[in-house]
Amino acid sequence: MTSILILNGPNLNLLGTRQPDVYGKTTLADVEALCREKAKTLGLDVAFEQSNHEGALIDLIHAAKGKHAAIVLNAGAYTHTSIALMDAIASVELTVVEVHLSNIHAREEFRHRSYIAPVALGQICGFGAQGYLMALDALKAHLKA
Ligand code: DQA
């Protein structure tokens, strides 16, 4: 079965209690449960990971090669800073869908820049946890095409 890695970056372990006015009350465990439910309906396998550490995220991206067909990535604040994450994605040549709970383009200017976007298939932002499910739908269609 086609496998997708859903990878979450720094501070996303605190979802549910972290700035709920911005990120909502859905916890990361809730997001995982929603993704697993969605994946089942799409006939996809999912692995779900989170790290607060840039190097650990890079290791997970490297390890995904040959194991997963694609990555759904919410890199948190590393989105706006990490050339190393961008290089890791370019190096493994895996399809990546960039996801953000909030609409990063409607927030502070420093969030408008994404180092992930140039190496991603596309970006979904502003739809809360629903964005992860939209990414799985998009990948299902993309991988079939
Ligand atoms: C985020 C947006 C980022 O700007 C922020 O640093 C996060 C979460 C989002 O999901 O909306 O940590 O990626």
Domain locations along the chain: 2-144
CATH architecture of 2-144: 3-Layer(aba) Sandwich (3.40)
Distance CA 15, CA 27 (A): 5
A 10 A CB-CB count for 113 gives: 11
The whole-model pTM stands at 0.97
Nearest CA to ligand 1 atom 12: 76
For the cut 90, the answer to whether the pLDDT of residue 145 exceeds it is no
State the average pLDDT over residues 64-83.
98
The phi and psi torsions of 81 (rounded to 5 degrees) equal: -130, -20
pLDDT digits (tens, 9 = 90+) for 19-48: 999 999 999 999 999 999 999 999 999 999
pLDDT of residue 99: 98
pLDDT of residue 1: 87
Which tokens belong to 113? 């820049």
pLDDT digits (tens, 9 = 90+) for 77-87: 999 999 999 99
Distance CA 64, CA 70 (A): 8
Ligand 1 atom nearest the C-alpha of 9 is 12
pLDDT digits (tens, 9 = 90+) for 83-134: 999 999 999 989 999 999 999 999 999 999 999 999 999 999 999 999 999 9
Determine if ligand 1 sits within 6 Å of the CB of residue 36.
no
Tell me, in angstroms, the distance from the centre of ligand 1 to residue 102's CA.
7
Distance CA 137, CA 13 (A): 24
Catalytic residues: 23, 100
